[in-house]
Structure 1
Amino acid sequence: MVQNDDDSWSSDDTMRVLIASDIHLGYLENDAVRGEDSFIAFEEVLSFAVQYDVDLVLLGGDLFDHAKPSPSCMFKCTQAIRKYCFGDKPINVELLSDQLENFSRTVNYEDPNLNISYPILSIHGNHDDPVGQGSVSSLDILSISGLVNYFGKWTDYTQVRISPVLLQKGETKLSLYGLSHLKDQRLARLFAEKKVTFELVEDGNDWFNILVLHQNRADRGPNNYISENVLPNFLDLVVWGHEHDSQVFATKDVKRENESFFVIQPGSTVATSLAAGEALPKHCVLLQLHKKEYIVTPLPLKTVRPFIFKTIVLSEENLGDEGVNENEKVQNFLKDKVYEAIKEAEEIRSGDPKQPTLPLIRLSVFYEHDGQDFNRVRFGQNFNGLIANPNDVLIMKREKKIRDRKERATGDSEDVDIGSAAAEATDVESLLRAYYEAQPQDRRLAVLSVRAVTEAVRDFTLKRDEDIFRRVLDAHKKHCVDFLLESNAETAEEVNERMRLCKESLDAADAERLNTIITAAAKKAEVETKKGAKKGESIVVSSDEEAPPTVTRSRGRGARGGSGRGRGRGRVQPAASPPTPSPPAERRTPRRAAAEKSATKLQTIIASRSLRTRRESSDIEISD
């Protein structure tokens, strides 16, 4: 048991909170080697709750790796929570705030139909946020079943008003504020516009104030992270989810007047990317509160798979003279580095029997020229059965040269190094933006908005929204066709100019405005498609010199044909009577006809550009 080192702290007045974040249940669950890693770490976190006899467990988002977890993942999650968190142990923490406002239901440990020993309180992250019909998330399912107390969920994205969960144990009072994940750009704008408010508690000096949120903390570009400076100063402690590198330090303190709050960044419990930050030791945190004083104790996780990350710059290594067999020299040198990393991983093993055996090894290698590059997958086959990730043990990057950067800055170089342009990307969205920006002007997207494409990739990856690309493409196409039909464009040059203006208007729109445009266009396209299918008619459009277009309607069973038979046997088919003249079809003016031709041309351009982009993007290696 972690001691508080203070005899004046009565156990009846001390609240113990176990804090963890970014569990990512279900990450690589179909992988034969790494499939159980996330579940093993989650069980260890919950076992700490029992070991330290905590009053509650606080999760900082991303309990699941996907917004729609598999049945197997939900089963294992439910099984672990029932195993460790259900029981007859009395709960000594009283909930004073409105439960329906905080959790949209009764808190589970006050439900007479449930026996809860260690209640879990959780916000959602970007991986398990609400999606689909009714905006129901995996946490909603756990909440309605009484397994988790889900708070901090938002439906109004124009403003955020955070009401605290008020908990009391003896003389210790905790006001817990939850801010589930929002897009960083939107939340940053809401903070700038003073539209994020925190409801303060009366006699607030008696309360210990904690905020748990799930956002970018590191600076990833303008408005793409949340600065600590925008958070209110009345907070005593901030639990920061989403960042996977564990930054927790043992401390015992009490916040003094005009001091800033202390930040706990638990980090993830499983490595979801082979990056340097993920190789840091993994932790969860034990927080002990006594009135306004607190103790933070890091708890190292012992069942996490060992992970060694190394950066190697070949130009700084003594590989001998360039020339014959240089490729072989580089491979042999890197093989030795991998074996050294395997030995290092063996030395840092915890000895826990549940800890996975095979380590994760990642070498980030910077090479000078093509003669030092080689097939990475074939190289990794040398370590089958020795490491957990033989297929991606290496990531190879061309070493940046000062003259190359100067040439790109002065425009002397005609060839754009896409890999170098995207090397600094911190996530897939940043990589895509860097890729499109690095393209020559004549090969950039002419219709699609880059922001919409990157957001579609994110929704497809995190939310498994398999229809997102079709919806985005159809919405762009519909918006641009309407844009053309409203214009006087007739020639190819005028059409291209209108397309350019349309693209500029999409790029200039902020994220919320762009989403509104795309959503409206998608709905309009869907309505028109349904109307056309319902009418069952097709319009043949002709040029102005030809006869007016005709409308052909599909008929049901029994429609008469030219040689159809009547029902009566031996009955002669009467001669066909002259058809009743139909009202003349709408006359296509030159402007209308040109616009419709432009719409057809636009669809052809979109298809060809999409195909070319797919071919070109296959040359880029995207890593987490």
Structure 2
Amino acid sequence: MVSVTSFYYVTLCLTWMLSSSDFLVFLFLLQQCASLLRSYCMGDGQVKFQLVSEPEVNFAHVEPQFRRINTEDPDLNINLPVYSIHGNHDDPSGLKYLSELDLLHTYGLINYFGKANDIENIDIYPLLFTKGTTKLALYGLGSIRDERLHRAYLNNRVQMKRPSEATDEWFNLFVLHQNRPAHRGSHNYIPESFLDSFLDLVVWGHEHDPIPEPEHNKERGFEVLQPGSSVATSMSDGEGKQKFCYVVKVCGRRYRVEPIALRTVRPFVIEEIDLKQAGFTKTEANTDTIRLEVETFLAGRMERIIRRVEETKGPHQPKQPLVRLRVDFGDIEPLNPILFGQKFFGRVANPKDIILPLKRKAEKAQMNGHGGVSNGVSKEIKPLIELDTATIEDVLVKYFDDKSDSGLMVFNSKFLTEALRKFVNNEDREAILDAYEYQKAQALQYLSLAEMSGDPGEELLNSLRTFRSENEKYMSDFVNDFEDWRSKGAGKKKGAAASRAAPKAAAPIIQVDESDEEMPPANGTANGRGRGAATTRARGGRARGARSLLTDSLLEFRLAWSLA
């Protein structure tokens, strides 16, 4: 859940996290977000830059009467326009394929762009802004399932449209919300090499770790700014870093990034403790007292942490910190985290899960080249593994996989857990039912096309096994077809699922190839290149000493990634 207090200092807070299915929580967050946007973004101030692109194209995903930016709405007074793409917690879903940002755009509080209407052929049209002689082309792409977007890039189905006039005079900025490093698979991220080389700056959302200085990509020539999350969304190492929002100033083809440290983020401390290294070893003599000694030791560590936080926290930070002790108990029986946390109730924000027991991961005995065991001792390949790193989706998939043939036969566990993810993260209350109806209809259609001979019962079971195997093999395509089916409204028509043909076992539908001030010195310079072509454009063409010209040409905007 997003910290509402942080908004008063960041000003821009556009997304929130729905961690439960309580609709009242959603309404509260929506009301708070709309209230803050209205308080800080509406007024009689003058907006000094101009949109010169076609809003009918940039906002083709909204109703015709709202295909414009809110600063050009005669019924609204906006002095701080906000432009936003959606992330993976507020991505479009449901019958009308709507996001929470669609609501805020309709209210006139933000300008929602970067929503792909056709996710098989993605055309990205930039918002074109001008101020004096400065020209900014702002490209945006809201979150799409990484596997699907990865495949779209491989198939050259993502096109970034460039301005037809004075192409090399535009500063090209791209904002997206995807996995940056590889996650659980070769296709579950977007390599930087996929992005167009004419880009000058890429603002990469979704990743939690903040990297306040832009990183240069030597291969493509652009720079990448990774803002990171603005609040701690998990109890991991990366969340303990300083959080930032950013001001990006653009003048001509030059730019500068100014990180601004957030002052209202809840203090977060994470420490790792190895009890054996701390001198605690279980013996026959101390069997009855060792756990009490460990509890006293850890309680003392907690007191020091709380005292240190009280001495160092800022005046605007919440009083109660988040504290995580990752403890390797070894052969000592772990403490009960809830009972331990009761000692610090009211003093920390997470008393129920202060302690995270860790365990060592041993490598399975390896076979030698002669078919025997190389040695009888397990090798430690990773020092400590968290017990609670798995998501509920992972737990369900493992549960059904362990059941093997005695578990699900028709329905695919990974497909159902994807529907569960949408139900939990997106408040999509019909996702699970739609997934059930879709798979049922696909199975019935598949069986109607299957050729059977011999024992009907055995043939039926074999066909169902083949159907499930094909779905697992081409799961990405199966999920994509389901999303297309839902976006077209088929799931809301009685019996509509049954009318959709299932892919044949021997011929899957899609084969996935596995292969306002004077500009200070810039910390980034636009590469000024077209698609693969070097530029000969002179850098000294501007009258840099003319302060009034620079003021009229300086585009300044703020970036705040409220949740990754």
Task: Provide the TM-score with structure 2 as the length reference.
Answer: 0.75
| CA shift digits 1:565-614 (9 cap, x unpaired) | xxxxxxxxxxxxxxxxxxxxxxxxxxxxxxxxxxxxxxxxxxxxxxxxxx
Task: Give the one of 44, 64, 73 matched to 2:9.
Answer: 44
Match of 2:465 among 495, 500, 515: 500
1:366 paired with 2:328, answer yes
* Residue 119 of structure 1 pairs with residue 81 of structure 2: yes
Q: Deviations over 1:131-183 (max 9, x none)?
A: 22322222111112211011001121111110110111112111000001100
Q: Higher helix share goes to which structure?
A: 1
Structure 1's 214 and 78: CA in aligned 2 closer, same or farther, altered over 3 A? same
Instruction: Determine if contact 1:476/1:518 at 8 Å carries over to the other structure.
Output: no
In the alignment, what sits opposite 2:303?
Answer: 339
SS in 2 for 1:134: coil
Q: Closer, same or farther in 2 for the Cα pair 1:124/1:256, shift >3 Å?
A: closer
- Are 1:389 and 2:350 an aligned pair? yes
1:123-522 → structure 2 map (5 Å cutoff): 123-201=85-163, 202-220=165-183, 221-249=185-213, 260-323=221-284, 324=287, 325-352=289-316, 355-369=317-331, 371-402=332-363, 428-429=392-393, 432-433=396-397, 439=402, 441=404, 445-484=408-447, 486=450, 487-488=452-453, 490=455, 493-516=458-481
Alpha-carbon deviation of 1:340?
2.8
- 2:212 is paired with a residue whose SS is coil
Amino acid at match of 1:348: T
Question: 1:246 Cα shift?
Answer: 1.5
1:87 counterpart (43, 46, 50): 43
**Which segment is superposed worse, 398-407 or 517-526?**
517-526
- Give the CA deviation at 1:44: 1.5
C-alpha separation in 2, matches of 1:477 and 1:435: 21
The Cα of 1:94 is off from its aligned counterpart by 1.0
Give the distance between the partners of 2:491 and 2:100, measured in 1 at CA.
30
Q: For the pair shown, which has the larger CA radius of gyration, 1 or 2?
A: 1
Q: How many residues align?
A: 471
Alpha-carbon distance in 1 for matches of 2:496, 2:186: 40
* RMSD (CA atoms): 3.6
Structure 1 stretches lacking a partner, 5+ long: 1-26, 28-36, 47-56, 414-419, 532-623
| Mapping for residues 545-556 of structure 1, pairs under 5 Å | none
Deviations 1:425-461 (A, max 9, x none): 5755456556655x37556643321320221121111
Within 5 Å, give how 1:9-24 maps onto structure 2.
none
Counterpart selection for 1:100 from 53, 56, 72: 56
Partner residue in 1 for 2:518: none
Partner SS state of residue 249, structure 1: strand
Q: Distance in 1 between matches of 2:180 and 2:238?
A: 14
CA separation of 1:158 and 1:496: change in aligned 2, threshold 3 A: same
Question: Contact 1:330–1:372 at 8 Å: present in 2 too?
Answer: no
Q: Where in structure 2 are there 5+ consecutive unaligned residues?
A: 61-66, 378-383, 499-563
- State the secondary structure of the residue aligned to 1:233: coil
TM-score norm. by structure 1 comes to 0.68
- One-letter identity of the residue aligned with 1:345: V
Instruction: State how far apart, in whole Å, the 2-side matches of 1:88 and 1:410 are.
Output: 77
Equivalent residue letter for 1:42: F
Q: Percent identity?
A: 33
Answer yes or no: is the 8 Å Cα contact 2:193–2:219 preserved in 1.
no
Which letter maps to 2:207? E
CA contact (8 A) 2:443 2:467 kept: yes
Aligned to 2:560: none
CA shift in 2, pair 1:403/1:528, >3 Å:
closer
Q: Is the 8 A contact 2:360 2:385 kept in 1?
A: no
CA displacement at 1:494 relative to structure 2: 4.1
User: Equivalents in 2 of 1:384, 1:316: separation in Å?
Assistant: 29
Taking the aligned partners of 2:493 and 2:290, their CA distance within structure 1 comes to 58
Shift of 1:82: 1.5
Is the Cα contact below 8 Å between 1:450 and 1:507 reproduced in 2?
A: no
Instruction: Describe the SS at the equivalent of 2:270.
Output: strand
Q: Quick one: structure 1 residues 406 and 342, their matched pair in 2 at CA, closer, same or farther if it must change by over 3 Å?
A: farther
Superposition deviation, residue 302 in structure 1? 0.3
Q: CA deviation at 1:492?
A: 5.2
Q: Secondary structure at the match of 1:248?
A: strand
